[in-house]
Structure 1
Amino acid sequence: MNRADTAPAVTVVAADPVIDPRWRALATGPDAGLFTSPPWIAAVCGTYGFTAQSRIAVDAAGAPVGGVAWVTVDDARGRRLLSLPFSDRADPPVPDTATWDLLFDDLSAGETAPYTLRCLDHSPAASGARLDEVGAAAWHGTPLDTDLDELHRRIAGQSRRNIKASARAGVRVEVRDDLEAVRIMHGLHVRLRKNKYGLLAQPQEFFERIWQEFAPDGHCHTLLAIVDDEVIAAALFLEWNGVLYYKFGASLQEHLQVRPNDAIYWTGIQQGVERGLRLVDWGLSDLDQPGLVGFKRKWATDERRLLTLRSGTVERTPAQQEFGDALGGLTKLLTDEAVPDDVTARAGALLYRYFC
């Protein structure tokens, strides 16, 4: 590729995305989101012992014009490059496809391991160099471009009725910024993933590191739905770059009839408006979970495809395949209903790093 295709002429430099001020400048630009932010990368890498890397395109004056961040994972499942692990997406903050191609050329030089990126379908990376689409999901967002009355009118009629039903049932939502609320949310998260999906949850340490990174700036909010002094649902929202992100949510299945999740979603929108934010990002929904996709559609006016892109081929050795099979078997065993929740939580702390 002719580097003159990018204007102005740029060069590529290596940088630590957690501490480099040039990356922070990109992470607060118009093309950046939560999952490429320094505090999010720090929480992921601090929990799992990863080392984040980035390449930054800088202009002749040394100012950053685009970048890409990733983590190299080399474990029993093989060597792989991920942008970024345990993140809904990591749209590279780049202005155009030419800049993306330049960065990707540098990232992949001499590298044979597969590289995986998840980004929205309008990202320059989606039409850039040598990446094949290997998966898709749904993304939903609610622009906060008007007052609360109009936002209330925009959501689906069923959701408006559920908000009223929740209030009649005595559901109240507390907005909390303390660490104990995060721990309460994690307990519900462990139980839901175990009982509904047969999956392990990320460790409590990860949730605590998220709080440590975002709470000092007032950007970590836990919403607890409570009936008769019992927490029956919870959600963790993070704020970055003018957007409120719904990151984790969980509820007790036996209390869904009082619509606690509707109460939480509406409170999240109210919080976004009160804080002067421009969007509520409802995150990723797998297409094989039509119930979740349908629920978010009732709240969102924006919907896009979220693509998984990959360069290279994932080829498992027999030993790696055997490890993957054993990991699946252990997950099934440790999420059995007979296993205490605290044991399932500890299993997640031990094994979750291998799921990226």
Structure 2
Amino acid sequence: MLRLHRVEPAAALHADRATYQDRLLFHTPEWLAFVAECQRAEPVLATVSDQGATVGHFTGLLTRRCGLRILGSPMAGWTTSYLGFNLRPGVCRRAAVRALTRFAFDELGCAHLEVRDRGTTEADLAGLGLRWDAAPTAVIDLRPDEDALFGAMAGACRRNIRKAAKSGVVIEEAGADPAFADEFYDQLRDVFAKQNLVPTYSVERVRSLIRHLFPVGRISLLRARDSDGRCIATAVLPWYRRTMYFWGGASYREHQHLRPNEALIWHALRWARARGVTEFDFVGANSYKAKYGTTEVAVPWARQSRSPLVARLRDAAKHGFALRQRAAARLGRIRQPATTTGS
């Protein structure tokens, strides 16, 4: 029987965690510091043991909602794709999930648990008392050569990439430019305004992400400029080991006819591949991503509550957030019309 034991963060612990082949960016100390800062949450690290021998690790964060202790690994809204487990080959993920529920409710005294683990399948969750959403993601295998990657895209996508180049769109690395976060966020507001919404997070989250990841070289910040040198689109792309993630992308509507978004993704794919990255993860499976030649991967988002009332409160909170977002967008349009001027 597997068991989870909470441990304090230490250099030796992180060194051991780094030896696991399924370790992702989201398990690193820098990413946890980013989430903890933005969500006012407390990181929770635990070893997974089998008869006293360590066979894996668990990563999550403790937070409070309505006075209730919640263990998120991760929670929706944290702009974090996956957390969950790092396990040695052959260790049963179903058994790890079963041990996690005991750990969350018995040892930590939580009222609610959410987990999205890249290696866990719906079959692993069946019969354990959890509910889950399918939550697939779209990925691109970067191991083929550039010609094969380009050829796997839809014809319209390839034409758009060529159009961007012919129109004078240039992609550049933003580096440590402090203006980047504001540029990205201004474009993001325009993206949401198109749907009569407002962004789900503030510009401070973008700044926090860059502040924690840029010094350790785990993020690529890209700009697309038009032929006049105006920044018309941006992309935020954390990466670690084998995978680059599409954390966020935005562009001004008035310049989208130049196709900067496709040019940004094509640049990112080549940039990542040149550095030995073998997978590009779009972090979600929206239909527009299929044009890049993606493959859909199922990554269920599971949750369990101590009582049915807590489960209903969670669902009501999710619905209430959507209503508040739309209300905020309406209020914003009354106070100050959205602008689409370049930076």
Determine which of 42, 48, 51 is the counterpart of 1:57.
48
**2:221·2:236 contact (CA, 8 Å) conserved in 1?**
yes
Matched residue, 1:281: 281
CA-based RMSD of the aligned residues comes to 3.1
Counterpart Cα distance in 1 of 2:209 and 2:106 = 33
Secondary structure of the equivalent of 2:55?
Answer: strand
Matched residue, 2:150: 152
Letter in 1 for 2:36: C
Q: Give the C-alpha shift of residue 203 in structure 1.
A: 2.2
Matched residue, 1:247: 247
Determine which of 274, 284, 306 is the counterpart of 2:299.
306
Counterpart Cα distance in 2 of 1:13 and 1:52 = 14
Determine which of 152, 158, 161 is the counterpart of 2:159.
161
May I ask how many residue pairs the two structures share in their alignment? 324
Counterpart Cα distance in 2 of 1:22 and 1:251 = 41
The 5-angstrom pairing of residues 94-113 of structure 1 reads 94=87, 95-97=91-93, 98-109=95-106, 111=109, 113=111
Counterpart Cα distance in 1 of 2:158 and 2:314 = 49
Counterpart Cα distance in 2 of 1:341 and 1:16 = 49
Report whether the alignment pairs 1:15 with 2:13. Answer: no
Counterpart Cα distance in 2 of 1:55 and 1:117 = 14
Q: Give the C-alpha shift of residue 340 in structure 1.
A: 3.9
Counterpart Cα distance in 2 of 1:202 and 1:24 = 32
Deviations 1:157-176 (A, max 9, x none): 22111111111222111122
Q: Give the C-alpha shift of residue 93 in structure 1.
A: 1.7
Letter in 2 for 1:180: A
Matched residue, 1:36: 27
**1:100·1:124 contact (CA, 8 Å) conserved in 2?**
no
Identity %, equivalent residues: 20
Matched residue, 2:341: none
Matched residue, 1:84: 74
Between 26-35 and 203-212, the greater mean CA deviation after superposition = 26-35
The 5-angstrom pairing of residues 84-233 of structure 1 reads 84-85=74-75, 86=78, 87-94=80-87, 95-97=91-93, 98-109=95-106, 111=109, 113-120=111-118, 122-123=119-120, 127-128=124-125, 130-178=128-176, 179-196=178-195, 198-227=197-226, 228-233=228-233
Secondary structure of the equivalent of 1:306?
Answer: coil
Counterpart Cα distance in 2 of 1:274 and 1:47 = 32
Q: Give the C-alpha shift of residue 309 in structure 1.
A: 0.8
Counterpart Cα distance in 1 of 2:243 and 2:59 = 20
**1:177·1:222 contact (CA, 8 Å) conserved in 2?**
yes
Report whether the alignment pairs 1:266 with 2:266. Answer: yes
Counterpart Cα distance in 1 of 2:201 and 2:152 = 34
Secondary structure of the equivalent of 2:137?
Answer: strand
**1:140·1:302 contact (CA, 8 Å) conserved in 2?**
yes
Report whether the alignment pairs 1:335 with 2:329. Answer: yes
Counterpart Cα distance in 2 of 1:74 and 1:105 = 19
Letter in 1 for 2:270: Q
Q: Give the C-alpha shift of residue 47 in structure 1.
A: 2.1
Q: Give the C-alpha shift of residue 283 in structure 1.
A: 0.9
Deviations 1:32-73 (A, max 9, x none): 2222322111101012321111221257897x5212222232
Counterpart Cα distance in 2 of 1:322 and 1:130 = 24
**1:92·1:125 contact (CA, 8 Å) conserved in 2?**
no
Determine which of 56, 62, 70 is the counterpart of 1:72.
62
Q: Give the C-alpha shift of residue 206 in structure 1.
A: 1.8
Counterpart Cα distance in 1 of 2:83 and 2:251 = 27
Q: Give the C-alpha shift of residue 13 in structure 1.
A: 2.6
Between 47-56 and 314-323, the greater mean CA deviation after superposition = 314-323
**1:243·1:279 contact (CA, 8 Å) conserved in 2?**
yes
Deviations 1:316-342 (A, max 9, x none): 699999987875554333222234489
Structure 1 residues 318, 258: closer, same or farther in 2, change over 3 A?
A: closer
